Chain A
Amino acid sequence: MKNLAIFIFSGFFFLPSTLANAGVLKDKNCGSCHRLNATEKSFTGPDLHYAGSKFQPEWLSAFLKRGEVIRPAGFITDPGFLKGPSENRPPHPSFPEEEAHALTEELMSLKIPRQTSVTSEPLSKGQRAKIKYQFERTFSCISCHQSLNLAGKVRGGISGPSLVNAGNRLQADWVADWLNTPETYTSKGRMPRYKMDPATLIQFARFVMMLKKENIK
């Protein structure tokens, strides 16, 4: 009974906060490029209808204040995608602190159910070397994604989103879910579909989470 009262009270407490931000994404016209719910068919920027499952709020807030380039060649559906980076491509808008905070809060409320649970424990040195080998040679991820080599240098292709700072940007569970069932998130990406065994899948997600820009040397 006490728990029920707390639940109801917390619901009332949470409601105004949610309502206060309802529509910030709409006000800022984010839906003109991004998909904000699964029923929308077309979008020209990264799909955000699961942003709350994918991103870390600290990174998202910092990104909204001062954007950074995640996809050097642009989004996969850009008409000029296969022509590579272009100076003509407009940068992502930047927002002042308060707006970035409100947008982050609303984006983090956009979630879809998780399928995998990944421990945040870093890989051992041996596991890391093994997965790095698979990352580069077995699954060829490095061909399309920028990453960090063991010397802390940036290397890799640019057609996929950069993974150089993935450990600060993404959520481990989402990385595993993306690798396991990409069709949950996109009807057609440009990335190959992999069938990893569950243990490799988890280790892969943990490896990606170890890629952080502070490790660049």
Chain B
Amino acid sequence: MLLTILVTGCGENEQARPAIKPPTQQEVKQASPLVPQQKLAQVTENTRQTYQWYCAQCHGMKGKGDGINAKFLTVPPRNHTKAEYLETRTDEQLFEAIKFGGLSVGRAPCMPAWGHTLNEDAIASLVQYIRELCQCEAL
């Protein structure tokens, strides 16, 4: 009896709950988009300054992946002027990579998380700036 309570203690009575089909990924995205303001984000002078202050250390002043840390990293920083890769990434993926770091999107751990440094508007704006640099959009 005790074992039964311990095993099910944090859950609910599964049999009493009606079967609910889990939402698809698309439905989740439509209901609660990861970045609600992203499409409205504008690239401003502040965005460019933010990129130069933080991102350019690794990604370079012109976003070519040739920042001053680049040659010391085990995985080269992304070249933001190359569309080939960036057009395979969605804006949400770029947003998450900046906010939560490279590992969060299955990429290199060299890219730190900036979510405690930059607010979501600033990150969304950087995503648009990267789109400007690569002159590309998600396919």
Please list the residues of chain A having a beta carbon within 8 angstroms of any beta carbon in chain B.
Answer: 73, 81-85, 136-144, 146, 155-159, 188, 190, 192-195
Please list the residues of chain B having a beta carbon within 8 angstroms of any beta carbon in chain A.
Answer: 52-54, 56-58, 60-61, 67-69, 72-73, 101-103, 109-114, 116-117
B106 → chain A, closest Cβ, in Å? 13
Asked if A190 and B53 make an inter-chain contact with CB atoms under 8 angstroms apart, the answer reads yes
Asked if A157 and B72 make an inter-chain contact with CB atoms under 8 angstroms apart, the answer reads yes
Asked if B53 and A73 make an inter-chain contact with CB atoms under 8 angstroms apart, the answer reads no
Please, could you name 25 A-B residue pairs with CB atoms under 8 Å apart, sorted by A? A73-B68, A81-B68, A82-B56, A82-B60, A82-B61, A82-B67, A136-B109, A138-B103, A138-B109, A139-B112, A140-B101, A140-B102, A140-B112, A142-B110, A143-B69, A144-B57, A144-B58, A156-B72, A157-B57, A158-B69, A159-B68, A190-B57, A192-B54, A192-B114, A192-B116
| A residues less than 8 Å from B68 (CB atoms) | 73, 81-85, 157-159
A75 → chain B, closest Cβ, in Å? 13
Bound: A93/B57 CA distance, A: 27
B58: nearest chain-A partner, CB-CB: A143
| A residues less than 8 Å from B117 (CB atoms) | 192-193
Bound: A195/B60 CA distance, A: 27
